[in-house]
Structure formats: C-alpha cells, structure tokens
Amino acid sequence: MTTADWALLISLFSLLIAMASFIWNVWQKFIFPKPRVRVTFMLMRIVGSDPPHRLLTLNFTNFGPGEIVIDCAVARPRTPWYKRRTRLGLLNPIANLAQPDEPTGPYAGGLPKKLAVGEEHILYFPYVAEMFMREPLACIGVHDSFRRTHWAPRGDFRKVVEQHRKDFPILNDNGAPT
C-alpha cells in the first residue's frame, strides 16, 4: 500500500467516526432526550411546633429538557457492586401532613407525579426511631418514567443517617448505646 492509500483509509475511518458521533448527538438531543432530575434529602424541623416536630424530606426538581413522571421513592441497600442494579426498596412517604406518623404506601404523597421543566415536588417521611433509616442503606432517590433512578447526594444521606443515630441510638441488652 502506498502513502495515498493509507491516507484514504484513515480519511474514511475518520468520516465514519464523525458520522457516528453526529447521529448519536442528534439521537440524544432531539429524538430521545431524557430529562435530568436533581434530588436532595434532608431532615427538617417544623418551626413553631411544640414539641419540635421533625420530618425527612426528599425533594426532586426537573432540570429538563421535557416533562418527566416520577413513579416512586426508592432506597438501595449496601450491597456488593455487582448486585446494585437489582436490589431496590420502595419507601412509603406520608400522604397527609396532618397525620405524619402514618405512611400509607409507596404511592402516597402525590406519586406518581408529572413534572414540567423547572417544577419540583417534595415527599415527606416520618422521623421516628423505627423506620427505614435503621436499615443498612447506601443511598436514597427517585425512580422515573424512563426507568432511571436519580439519587440524592451521598453527603446529604450520610448527614441524615448520622443525625438519626444520634437522636435514636440503638441500645444493647444493658441499656448502653452500641
């Protein structure tokens, strides 16, 4: 092969790569765009309540492009990396803030919720001793209509877990915290 043949071969290969990237960009941006969702998880206190009443909040915002439907709130247990996609647990949000200690099921709290671009929704969870925070969880998030899971930042989740352990320590048989 001559130098001209090698140049032609490399040029054709470059053209194929350029066409593939163009088709991928058109597909991703215009044909099948998937919205981005930002999720936050925190412990909040209701101001002015006596005694102070606290709730866990899972806040999610659609950053677009396009609408999205959030189906449910999920948690992932601490598992090895090869089992992470297969093991999720559904969380039960509060349906009525007037009775915050009574979760009614995984589709309470206005779920499934259709969100336009820029719209947000908040799910509330009771903050009590016996709840999902006692489980060995790795993270918490929401599941959308594109079958994707959007997770809250791990730092947010760790702060809430540490505060729950301070507020509700696990006691051993002698009554001392473990």
The residue extents of the domains of the chain are 1-32, 35-167
**DSSP-derived pairing of the beta strands 113-115 and 36-46:** unpaired
Instruction: Fold for 35-167, please state it.
Output: Immunoglobulin-like (2.60.40)
Cβ-contact 116, 75 below 8 angstroms: no
Please give the structure tokens belonging to residue 94. 């509060």
Q: Which residue has the higher pLDDT, 51 or 128?
A: 128
Q: What angle do CA 116, 121, 126 make, to 5 degrees?
A: 165
Is 102 in contact with 116 (CB distance < 8 Å)? Answer: no
Taking the model in full, what pTM does it have?
0.77
pLDDT at 171: 65
Sheet of strand 120-126: strand arrangement: 36-46, 53-64, 120-126
- Give the DSSP letter of residue 171: B
pLDDT digits 0-9 by tens, 21-79: 999 988 877 777 788 999 999 999 888 777 778 889 999 999 988 899 999 999 988 88
